[in-house]
Amino acid sequence: MNYKVAVIPGDGIGPEIITEARKVLDKIGEKYGHTFEYQELLMGGCSIDAYGEPLTDETLEKARASDSVLLGAVGGDVGKSGWYELPPDKRPEAGLLKIRKGLGLYANIRPAVLFDELSGACPLKEDITNGGFDFVVMRELTGGLYFGERKTIEENGIMKAIDTLTYDENEIRRIARWGFDVAMKRNKKVCSVDKANVLDSSRLWRKVVKEVSEEYPEVELSDMLVDNCAMQIVRDPKQFDVILTENMFGDILSDEASMVTGSIGMLSSASLGATKLGLYEPSHGSAPDIAGQDKANPLATILSAAMMLRYSFDLEKEADAIEDAVKQVLKEGYRTGDIMDNGKTLVGTKQMGDLVAAHIK
């Protein structure tokens, strides 16, 4: 098959890590008989320099016309770069909001994978993490408290702030379907997280998720209150496969889940919408402190490319091949600086990409 991939290297380490992800995708293409046709697009600081805005409408159109989008990272050193003297809607990160909105992305997946080989970086006790863990947090991205009506008023001389948390059943249903679809590609378990003992929106969430689960008889559904979930992620992360939750709970839980895996250079992510077109990117930023020095860990971006194969292109075997290659390279002791440990072999960005590509089976 031929796939059209819009590639947005962005700023800082973005171009370096994207180059390595392309290297690995090309190796997959060669081995499995696919072609990836890349179209490089500008977003972030580099687009501000070229066009005066972080994402032009023309660029967004090109991204929309692709089969999927692979993004490096955008932004510069906030203290040094002139980009941050611009109004907020003209700064590099405004491009991120515009592309997510423009592509209609409402589901975010952040995997929390502890590779056995990197368990030393995990802040949890060894008896909890033995054997590693592997779950994803699926977060609703466009509804809930962050998008509800808000205001600050003064009543009888007292300041009062009001935020509203709203979900309708359609918003819940569409993210729930993604949650179950993703579980079908994994270990077929969904844990739906809410605060149904207090919130009406959570009670509706629970009801709709239960209805959707009936379309997926193979997937085991459980419900958990968000406070308990926050505890369970550090007490027993192995119990989870897909954590499905609303926007604010997902914001908090996905950061907690990332933290327990240890290294920022390993964290991939995907944002999905109504179609197969998704946006795949590492969870980290553009790391201007190490840009251009061949020090960045490209694995989060390479693992994001694997997610793109799995979720946008339904190429399961090929996605597995990338993840297995990453595991094998780690097993053989190769590390970039951010995950370096005693007795391991330090490699740069390019060599890490070469190694993963060479291990694709």
Q: Which residues are catalytic?
A: 146, 195, 227, 251, 255
Report the C-alpha dihedral over residues 293, 294, 296, 298, rounded to 10 degrees: 150
Interface pick for ligand NAD out of 23, 98, 284, 335 (rule CB under 6 A):
284
List the one residue from 124, 245, 338, 347 that touches ligand NAD (CB under 6 A). 338
Q: Confirm or reject binding of residue 286 to ligand NAD (CB under 6 A).
A: yes
* Binding of ligand NAD by 294 (CB under 6 A): no
Position 108 contacts ligand NAD (CB under 6 A): no
175: Cβ contacts below 8 Å, ≥ 6 apart: 106, 107, 138, 140, 244
CB 313 within 8 A of CB 182: no
How far apart CA 17 and CA 286 sit, in angstroms, is 10
Residue 33 near residue 2, CB atoms below 8 Å: no
129 binds ligand NAD (CB under 6 A): no
Judged by CB under 6 A, the residue of 74, 175, 183, 307 near ligand NAD is 74
* Cα–Cα distance, 154 to 243 (Å, whole number): 39
Q: Which is nearer to ligand NAD, 93 or 181 (CB)?
A: 93
96 Cβ contact partners less than 8 Å away, ≥ 6 residues apart: 43, 44, 74
For residue 162 the two structure tokens come to: 């009001």
| 251 interacts with ligand NAD by CB under 6 A | no
Any idea what DSSP says for residue 323? H
Number of residues that this document lists for the chain: 361
Binding residue for ligand NAD, selected from 107, 290, 352, 360, defined by CB under 6 A: 290
Residue 86 within binding range of ligand NAD, rule CB under 6 A: no
Nearer to ligand NAD, 48 or 290 (CB): 290
Shortest distance in whole angstroms from residue 75 CB to ligand NAD: 2
DSSP label at residue 315: -
Which one of 52-60, 277-285, 304-312, 324-332 is the stretch in contact with ligand NAD (CB under 6 A)? 277-285
Q: Is 75 a residue that touches ligand NAD (CB under 6 A)?
A: yes
Contact 129, 233 (CB under 8 A): no
Structure tokens at 77: 């050193």
Q: Is 273 in the site for ligand NAD (CB under 6 A)?
A: no
Question: Which parts of this chain interact with ligand NAD (CB under 6 A)?
Answer: 13, 73-76, 78, 93, 96, 264-265, 281, 284-290, 296-297, 300, 338
